[in-house]
A = this chain, B = another copy of it.
Amino acid sequence: MAAQKIDGTAIAKSIREKLTHEIAEKQKNTPRFKPALTIIQVGGRPDSSTYVRMKLKAAQEANITCNIQKFPEDITEAELLEYIDQLNNDPSVHGILVQLPIPKHISEAAITSAVHHNKDVDGFSTMNIGDLAKRGKTPLFTPCTPAGVMVLLKESGVGVRGKNAVVLGRSDIVGSPVSYLLKNADATVTVCHSHTKNLPEIVKTADIVVAAIGIPNFVKGEWIKPGAVVIDVGINYIKDETRRSGERLVGDVDYESVKEVASLITPVPGGVGPMTVCMLLQNVVESANRFWEATRARKIT
């Protein structure tokens, strides 16, 4: 029997509608409440431009202010750090997002750690990752794609506690934070990467597989334990002459073979992708709420 599809588009849509409603309700009493996000884009990578446009559009639809600040490819690390510092100190900005990847001459770790953790809506700062990686602490912001993975599991009724979860990939953006979230949710988590031996054998032990490696159609049906839940984070463009654009979007999972074995699977597109943007908006709104409450608390005392 073919796996059931997890409809990320629908789940994301309902969360975005809830956020739009929440903002509108709040503005009835406090018209000056206006969540605001600044996105920093360095250079002109077409994929980055696409992602930034998507985020802008989604933010506008939810009535979130979104400013895009573009910098040339050759901006120095020091200049970028200075601009981030300005935004950190600008009370009208609730969220700061640096679109990754950034050019190789700038340290990604230095930049993501420079965003003040109370505006770090991407959740990549050392403080937020640190709180995520510690028990008994809750980060101000959880990285968006990993948070989206957890929401998809929850909305699909997948219990995580006590399950074996195998995460393919250990990046700071997806693999590692997903593994911390799954561990905190009481799964037994194995993190695999390019040095992993016998990957198919390890994947076979998983009740939940999260693939985030960036290789088209990498995970095969015969690796999957029957009935497993498969979350495909991959976003890869491959050649497809039958398309007008000449290319086609596929995940890290070989959908056709895996869907025959899994019980639940996210499609690409329409799975994890839409969740990332929607978790970002949620982080911006949460941040705006926190700043608003803090201002109000200061006025009262």
Contacts and interface: CB of A to CB of B under 8 A. Distances in A.
Interface of A: 107-109, 113, 125-137, 161-162, 164, 170-172, 176, 180, 183, 186-193, 195-197, 202, 205
Contacts of A205: 202, 205
B128 A172 contact: no
A188 B169 CA distance: 11
Contacts of A130: 125-131, 133
Given A161-B195, A188-B192, A188-B202, 7 more contacts: A113-B137, A126-B134, A127-B127, A134-B176, A162-B195, A187-B195, A188-B191
Task: Please indicate which of the listed interface residues A127, A130, A205 has the most CB atoms of chain B within 10 Å of its own CB.
Answer: A130
Contact of A126 (B131, B186, B192, B202): B131
A113 B130 CA distance: 10
A172 B183 CA distance: 12
Nearest to A129: B130
A131 B127 CA distance: 9
A80 B65 CA distance: 42
A135 B202 contact: no
B136 A107 contact: yes
Contacts of A196: 162, 188
Contact of A176 (B133, B171, B192, B195): B133
Of listed A126, A128, A161, A195, residue having the most chain B CB within 10 A = A126
29 contacts: A108-B136, A113-B137, A126-B126, A126-B130, A126-B131, A127-B130, A128-B130, A129-B133, A129-B134, A133-B133, A133-B180, A134-B172, A134-B176, A135-B176, A136-B172, A161-B195, A164-B197, A164-B202, A170-B183, A176-B183, A183-B191, A186-B193, A186-B195, A188-B190, A188-B193, A188-B196, A188-B197, A188-B202, A202-B205
Contacts of A134: 109, 126, 129, 172, 176
A107 B136 CA distance: 9
Nearest to A198: B164
Contacts of A197: 162, 164, 188
A114 B136 CA distance: 14
Closest 9 CB pairs of A and B: A130-B130, A133-B133, A126-B130, A190-B190, A109-B136, A186-B195, A188-B196, A129-B130, A162-B195
B190 A195 contact: no
A192 to B, nearest CB: 6
Contacts of A171: 135
A135 to B, nearest CB: 6
A129 B250 CA distance: 35
Contacts of A170: 135, 183
Contacts of A127: 126-127, 130
Contacts of A109: 134-137
A162 B198 CA distance: 10
